[in-house]
Amino acid sequence: MLVTTTEQIPGKNYEVLGEVFGVTTQSRNVVSDFGAGIKNIVGGEIKGYTKMLQTSREKAVSRMIAEAKDKGADAVVMMRFDSGSIGGDMQSVVAYGTAVRFVD
């Protein structure tokens, strides 16, 4: 399925089917928290958190695509991400956009 951050798809006409979302919430583990504490002192990338966020984004997009397919969509336009912390040890990521079906 085509997923784009743009509103228009060159050469395609489509009808809007509606909003679609994909949400995931991940918790950090003890090893990542320990590593983050060390990195907070000395500086640098916290690879455990980076990996968790990348995995969260991939899951959120996958779930958004599944919802779009359920609506009969051919593509998702205007895709965006949003994220936030929950309770200090969890991270929520949402991918959202507009499901569309090609016409013509």
Domain with 6, as residue range(s), is 2-103
Q: What is the mean pLDDT of each run of 10 residues along the chain (104 residues)?
A: 96 97 81 52 74 91 98 98 80 95 93
What pLDDT is stored for residue 88 in this prediction? 67
* CATH number of domain containing 73: 3.30.110.70
Q: Cβ of 97: how many Cβ atoms within 10 Å?
A: 25
Say whether 98 sits in a helix, a strand or coil: strand
Contact 64, 82 (CB under 8 A): no
Contact 96, 79 (CB under 8 A): yes
Max Cα–Cα distance, the chain, nearest Å: 59
What pLDDT is stored for residue 94 in this prediction? 96
Nearest to 36 by CA among 89, 80, 73: 89
Domains of the chain: total? 1
